[in-house]
Structure 1
Amino acid sequence: MNFEAFKEWFTMENIMTLIQEYRSFGPLPGILLPMLEAFFPFLPLVILVMANANAFGLWIGFLLSWSGASVGAIFVFLFFRKFGQQRFLHFLHKHPKVQKLMNWVEQHGFGPIFLLLCFPFTPSALVNIVAGLSKVSIAQYMLAVITGKMVMIFTISFVGYDLRALITQPIRTILVSVVIFILWYVGKRIEVRLNKSVKREHSRG
């Protein structure tokens, strides 16, 4: 199976089937799949969260997705905090965008991390890596991850927990599409504004 075929396999139907087949393992698959997304950001977190909400119910599905995604993000952060200064990762520090984002995160701490993690279509993997390489405190980062992921994952879970209604109720489908578009648009606008602020402060410095 090549990379493109692997990515295409991650449809809602396939993930739902996988979760149903491994229900005998309890909540483990519902936690592990969102956790893996932190390490492999090409995985569709939105679909994983919706699948959990449909397989386990709104609240349990939300809790499983939230805990898995948060733990995965914290693992990535801790990995780069511990090994980011090693020679095999030193090239990351030289990347101009990474340097600018590191300076921004160090100066503003909780705020930009929280905002970026509130929206499902912003580059959370990059945020986790940059935060790990920066000097932001572990407490600040963990608070931003836990609260930001809570907002984002509950929104996705609430929007997509009843997939049958998306088929049988066209108005609900339209509303869900509008909400997802708004989340995408607002997340991208915040990302653009933060990037502009980073460039302004970098030029002043």
Structure 2
Amino acid sequence: MGKWLGTAFYILVFAAAYLYRDALSSWMSSQPPIGYMVMLATLLAMFPVMPYKLVIAALGYVYGAWWGGLICVIGSTLAGALFYAGAAYFFKAQAQRWLSGYPKLQRLSNWMEAHPFEAIVLYRLIPLFPQSVINLYAGVSSISFGIFMLASLIGKIPGVFVYAYLGTSLFKQPILAVSVLSVYLLILGISIWVYKRMNPFYKK
């Protein structure tokens, strides 16, 4: 019974977010209380009716890089925790069936379970898979909640604050904003190269 209620809740929230997406966008631009924005950031991380990088940049523009980034870190972390809990305790079988649509993830499962902390940090830092895939995989696997949360925080913080800074500075200091993004993308590219060199899956 619980899994059906959880599924119905997710569908209803997704539908509401999609139907009222324009109103949500206008409300967000009026700089509402931060607590409300944490809830909105959580919902938009769970139900991506728009690219989350745009959400981060918009919050950076409205609240500044520090507060905008912090709101998104908290919101996306809460969303990840809810996905983890749902996959671990309420709809594990459904999550496993859904994850079976990602064969590369299945082939990497042994490496991820042997090195859960490093794997989650890398997958947060390097978006090789949708974030919801990592959340669900961690929930249905043997990866502990503590490792999942700590690694998620470490992996997502650099990207979140870069995009929040871009939202703050893109129109005020476009050259600096583009320079910061270029350095971040260069580091990301190097990280992907190192990851592929270290991961046994890519050596086959």
TM-score, normalization by structure 1:
0.72
Distance 1:115 1:101 in 2: 13
In the alignment, which of 150, 153, 156 is matched to residue 146 of structure 1?
Answer: 153
1:60 aligns with 2:67: yes
Matching residue within 107, 122, 136 for 2:114: 107
1:19 maps onto 2:28 in alignment? yes
Cα deviation for residue 122 of structure 1 reads 5.0
Q: In structure 2, the residue corresponding to 1:164 is in which secondary structure?
A: coil
- Give the fraction of aligned pairs with identical amino acids, expressed as a percent: 23
Corresponding residue of 2:186: 182
What do the CA deviations read for 1:159-200 (whole angstroms, capped 9, x no partner)?
A: 33223225xx4x335425524643664565467x28962366
Q: How far did 1:57 drift?
A: 1.9
Q: TM-score, normalised by structure 2?
A: 0.72
Q: How large is the RMSD of aligned CA atoms in angstroms?
A: 3.4
Where do residues 1-205 of structure 1 align in structure 2 (5 Å cutoff)?
Answer: 15=25, 17-21=26-30, 23=32, 26-41=33-48, 43-86=50-93, 88-92=94-98, 94-95=100-101, 96-119=103-126, 122-166=129-173, 169=174, 171-172=175-176, 174-179=178-183, 181-182=185-186, 185-186=189-190, 189=193, 193=196, 197-198=200-201
How far apart are the structure 1 equivalents of 2:49 and 2:126? 16
In structure 2, the CA distance between the partners of 1:195 and 1:76, relative to structure 1 (3 Å rule), is farther
Unaligned runs of 5+ in 2: 1-14
Count of residue pairs the alignment pairs up? 185
Secondary structure of the residue aligned to 2:108 is: helix
Is the 1:36–1:72 contact (alpha carbons within 8 Å) kept by the matching residues of 2?
A: yes
- Over 3 Å counting, the alpha-carbon distance change for 1:52 and 1:102 in structure 2 is same
Query: Aligned to 1:136, what secondary structure does the other structure show?
Result: coil
Cα deviation, residue 70, structure 1:
0.9
Give the superposition deviation at 1:50: 1.1
Distance 1:152 1:78 in 2: 24
Q: Is the 1:49–1:65 contact (alpha carbons within 8 Å) kept by the matching residues of 2?
A: yes
Residues 52-92 of structure 1: CA deviation (Å, up to 9, x unaligned): 11111222112111100111111111111113533x44424
Check the 8 A contact 2:65/2:164 in 1, yes or no: yes
2:120·2:152 contact (CA, 8 Å) conserved in 1?
A: yes
Provide the secondary structure at the position in 2 that maps to 1:161.
Answer: helix
Bigger drift between 137-146 and 147-156 goes to: 147-156
Superposed CA deviations along residues 96-152 of structure 1, whole A, max 9, x for unmatched, are 334223322211110010122124675222111211121011111111112222222
Q: In structure 2, how many angstroms separate the alpha carbons of the residues matched to 1:66 and 1:130? A: 20
